[in-house]
Structure 1
Amino acid sequence: MRKWLPLTAVCLGAFMLLVDVTIVTVALPDMAVDMHTGFAGLQWVMDIYALTLAALLLAAGALADRAGRRRVYLAGLGLFALASLACGLADGPGALIAFRAVQGLGAAAMFATTMALLNGAYQGRDRGVAFGVWGAVNGAAAAAGPIVGGLLTEHFGWRWIFFVNLPVCALAVLVTLKSVGESRDPHAKGLDLPGTVTFTAAAGCVTYALIRGGENGWTSGATLGFFVLGAVALVSFLVVERRSARPMLDLGLFRSRAFVGIMTAALLMSAAAFAYFLYVSMWLQSVLGMGPVAAGLALVPMSLAAFVVSAVAGRHLHRLPARYSVGGGMLLIGAGALLLALVSADSSWPVLVPGLLVAGAGVGAVGPSLAAAAMDAVAPARAGMAGGALNTARQLGMALGIAVLGGLFHAGVRSGLPSAARDLADPLTSGQAAAVIGRAPRLEGVVEAAFASGLRETFVVAGVLGLAGGLLALWLMRPAAAVAPAPAEAPAAL
């Protein structure tokens, strides 16, 4: 069994960093009360982690190729542990958000190296087994996040969702030191620092603008200003990458129509399938009165359906062209979100089950197909970069999805309130619905209707994003039309 220790080391880190994307979901209402933070603060607690992970993933991979993958993985584990401790000890929302960003940096260092470490540790059949287990662990992390977060929050307090990372990090470091060998890319080039800075600035400015727009209005000076800064940074990134001798992302990859379709699907999948969990958790706990564990369990149908589809149907999906599994799966994700939009003021948690099952089936169809399709769409020499771009798109989709859907949720709750009570929108979306109802029981029906309004807007837009992603994938990933040979010229008349 000693040969599987490298797999254990890698899976410990991967499971932990992916769980931390969603583990805070069910803890946010308790965080809001304890730290007296508002809706935008709650969004940032989730968003900053995914945003940092997305922005630095490609750069971390390039650094690992040059400095050593084992070394960067261990550094990521250490940084993740320290940041987790700091998150658990944070005394205010600003400190918590800052330390979540540092957590994202450590996660990027770990995530960027996991596949390369497995690739170097195993060959032949063992490599296939290792990647299969690693993929299953990644899927299990999505299911475990809300449940683990709920158990820890309900029985020990929300700070333990961060403290629990410390022993896991220590075990991962120990197993890595004992079993994982060092590896590098002898042909690795230097870091693309200008590309990293401009990409991070673009993603950060756009996300900040989306959150500010939902909070302060889309025409406010700050919102428009950050959209402009984001656009400038994005253009700068494209210019830098086009001119760089060692680009973080080779823009030539996007000459492949199929690759564009794959990246679009990856971006929209996270936004359409996962970004609304925060707002659903708010509804389950602060309006329906469910505890963190029950709220986490209410979200399990999606993960369960995704696991079953990817495990059972996955063995047959490879027989289909990737455009059908990716495009069809995205259409299911969109349809599931639209089913969730059937929520009403008198609904309870079972109304979520059909939509979560359908969306989960879509996730199970899309997930296993995206990576293989990305590898097939590019030259073998660009496979590592394509994989990094795929993971970046997924995490960026999560960050942007939380920001976009958050603005819609807040606006929907506000519009669902009577004009005389619209000042309640901020406390309601900050997890204080139970307190509002407790002070004024006559408002219970008003609060339930307002939350249903916000959730419906959120689910409808998520559904549109999923359907759009499916249609784009089906169109962009279609085989290139064969070019008919030119007809032979008729001989000239004599």
Structure 2
Amino acid sequence: MTTTVSDGLPAPQRYGAILTIALGLTVSVLDGAIANVALPTIAQDLHASPASSIWIVNAYQLAITISLLSLSSLGEIFGYRRIYMIGLVVFSLTSLACALSDSLATLTFARILQGFGAASIMSVNVALVRIIYPQRFLGRGMGINALIVAVSSAAGPTVAAAVLSFANWPWLFAINLPIGLVAFCLAAKFLPANPVKTSGQKFDFISSLMNALTFGLLISAISGFAQGQNRLLILAEVIVLVIVGWFFVRRQLNKTSPLLPVDLLRIPIFTMSLCTSMCSFAAQMLAFVSLPFFLQNTLGLNAVETGLLLTPWPLATMVMAPIAGRLVERYHAGILGGIGLVVFSAGLYSLALLPDHPSHLNIIWRMIVCGAGFGLFQSPNNHTIVSSAPRSRSGGASGMLGTARLLGQSTGAAMVALMFNLFSAHGTHASLVLAGSLALAGAIVSVMRMTQKSVSQQKV
């Protein structure tokens, strides 16, 4: 189906299109976390040190972060559907390459290419949701999208534990191939084509390079500082980051459709929503990275038990996100997001107050509170980010939404390392307190959005 639609797809085609988005987004987000559990096994099998094996995870995340905005720009020029389908092909083939890798070098290289495929999928998925759903039902579409991202991000350890219980690590990557092929066939049949710009807009390669350097150096500097790396090296990275970033932003100010959407960042409610998104995902990552250390090292649980105790979080998000997607059709996203983040913060603080030997039930109800609060916040927030941007800039909004999530996750993971370095005996406790404080700060910003124009009053 290649016809362009002005206000969403008819119901039968809409369901097929959203299934396509769900499949592609699930595997691309899941692969960012699924390898964590298998790192010790992969390192041993490939005769790599634990420190060097971290690149199996970092290479994937870094490739996505530095290319997300560039690929969303390509989506606005050549069409979201085309970029999405190319991403599915690249992601599926490189997943097979990961499964067949016989050394750390080949696996890391395959993960970089796989990250570019995942970035193609993530960069335009929200823009596609916007043309799949009628405007009056956009909140429901964003609810489903937020549900997929949140659950996929949280379910990595559980899924990995399940796969590794009956198969070896290459199957963590090999299972992506049939899923990707099914998603590609569904995309060819159900995804609509969006209007491609005819104003002569060309892809800005110089801005794309500046974008990669800016975000790559930002993540490298944050991670290096948190892990206690050489201060002179970090200082050099920051200096180069400031110089490149300054010229990058200056270049974008002169563009009608900039790769870094400074035009959208001038919309207060858009920028405030991005800030709350970064706070929420940083808080989520602080909890997800630090809690396994408490559950395994302090309570003596194994990897499977740890994964099962973390599972109530994504399950609660799974229930709440679609409900929040419908509520945003009636209530302001600022108040919904504020309530959600306050609940999320309460859950994180309650985890920080866990006794030394808690029962499983004592952990589970806290996980449910965190997941419910996160789900109540995420759908309305994503809806606001997308609907506050003009339709012609949906790709830029989609790219910034994904970039905010990845920056939040990367910052959160780095802050866990910092907390463990500063509070070696109470690293998890410190991480959870910081996570709760970030969620509370996000709640304040979310409520402040109510002073801005409502989503329905924005130009779309």
Unpaired segments of 5 or more residues in structure 2?
Answer: 1-10, 454-460
Given the alignment, which residue of 48, 52, 69 partners 2:63? Answer: 52
Q: Which residue pairs with 1:396 in the alignment? A: 407
Q: Percent identity?
A: 28
Q: The residue matched to 2:60 in structure 1 has which SS?
A: helix
Distance in 1 (alpha carbons) for counterparts of 2:132 and 2:333:
29
Post-superposition shift, 1:396?
A: 1.8
Post-superposition shift, 1:7?
A: 3.7
Q: Which residue pairs with 2:218 in the alignment? A: 206
- Residue by residue over 1:110-146, the C-alpha shift from the partner in whole angstroms, topping out at 9 and shown as x without a partner, is 1233345555567689988876655554454345433
Distance in 2 (alpha carbons) for counterparts of 1:32 and 1:276:
25
Q: 1:174 to 1:121 in 2, by over 3 A?
A: same
Distance in 2 (alpha carbons) for counterparts of 1:303 and 1:317:
21
Given the alignment, which residue of 168, 186, 192 partners 2:204? Answer: 192
Post-superposition shift, 1:149?
A: 1.3
Given the alignment, which residue of 383, 387, 398 partners 1:372? Answer: 383
- Residue by residue over 1:411-431, the C-alpha shift from the partner in whole angstroms, topping out at 9 and shown as x without a partner, is 433xx3xxxxxxxxxxxxxxx
Q: The residue matched to 1:320 in structure 2 has which SS?
A: coil
Q: Which residue pairs with 1:253 in the alignment? A: 264
- 8 Å Cα contact 2:46/2:103 also seen in 1: yes
- 8 Å Cα contact 2:77/2:196 also seen in 1: yes
Q: The residue matched to 1:331 in structure 2 has which SS?
A: helix
- When structure 1 is superposed on structure 2, of 177-186 and 104-113 the one drifting more is 177-186
Q: Which residue pairs with 1:473 in the alignment? A: 446
Q: 1:154 to 1:231 in 2, by over 3 A?
A: farther
Q: The residue matched to 1:229 in structure 2 has which SS?
A: helix
Distance in 2 (alpha carbons) for counterparts of 1:381 and 1:286:
50
- When structure 1 is superposed on structure 2, of 176-185 and 166-175 the one drifting more is 176-185
- When structure 1 is superposed on structure 2, of 384-393 and 339-348 the one drifting more is 339-348
- Higher alpha-carbon Rg: 1
Q: The residue matched to 2:420 in structure 1 has which SS?
A: helix
Distance in 1 (alpha carbons) for counterparts of 2:399 and 2:298:
40
Distance in 2 (alpha carbons) for counterparts of 1:76 and 1:124:
26
The reply on whether 1:176 has 2:187 as its aligned counterpart is: yes
- Residue by residue over 1:371-426, the C-alpha shift from the partner in whole angstroms, topping out at 9 and shown as x without a partner, is 2222454445444422331222112211222122223234433xx3xxxxxxxxxx
Q: Which residue pairs with 1:305 in the alignment? A: 316
Q: Which residue pairs with 2:4 in the alignment? A: none
Distance in 1 (alpha carbons) for counterparts of 2:257 and 2:433:
41
Post-superposition shift, 1:24?
A: 2.6
Counterparts of residues 33-182 of structure 1 (less than 5 Å): 33-34=44-45, 41=52, 44-117=55-128, 136-142=147-153, 144-180=155-191, 182=193
- 8 Å Cα contact 1:51/1:399 also seen in 2: no
Post-superposition shift, 1:280?
A: 2.6
- 8 Å Cα contact 1:269/1:469 also seen in 2: yes
The reply on whether 1:409 has 2:382 as its aligned counterpart is: no
Question: TM-score under structure 1 normalisation?
Answer: 0.78
Q: The residue matched to 2:451 in structure 1 has which SS?
A: coil
Q: Which residue pairs with 2:249 in the alignment? A: 238
Question: TM-score under structure 2 normalisation?
Answer: 0.83
Q: Which residue pairs with 1:332 in the alignment? A: 343
Given the alignment, which residue of 226, 230, 240 partners 2:237? Answer: 226
Distance in 2 (alpha carbons) for counterparts of 1:244 and 1:455:
45
- 8 Å Cα contact 2:80/2:194 also seen in 1: yes
Q: Give the aligned residue type for 1:215.
A: Q
The reply on whether 1:455 has 2:450 as its aligned counterpart is: no
- 8 Å Cα contact 1:343/1:455 also seen in 2: no
- Residue by residue over 1:287-316, the C-alpha shift from the partner in whole angstroms, topping out at 9 and shown as x without a partner, is 655444332221112112222222345533
Q: Give the aligned residue type for 2:445.
A: L
Q: The residue matched to 1:21 in structure 2 has which SS?
A: coil
Over aligned residues, Cα RMSD in angstroms?
3.3
The reply on whether 1:385 has 2:396 as its aligned counterpart is: yes
- Residue by residue over 1:32-61, the C-alpha shift from the partner in whole angstroms, topping out at 9 and shown as x without a partner, is 554566675565444443343233222212
- 8 Å Cα contact 1:340/1:354 also seen in 2: no
Q: Give the aligned residue type for 1:204.
A: G
Unpaired segments of 5 or more residues in structure 1?
Answer: 417-452, 481-494
- Residue by residue over 1:324-368, the C-alpha shift from the partner in whole angstroms, topping out at 9 and shown as x without a partner, is 222232233333222222356545765543442222122111111
Post-superposition shift, 1:91?
A: 4.3
Q: 1:151 to 1:164 in 2, by over 3 A?
A: same
Distance in 2 (alpha carbons) for counterparts of 1:334 and 1:132:
21
Q: Give the aligned residue type for 2:327.
A: H
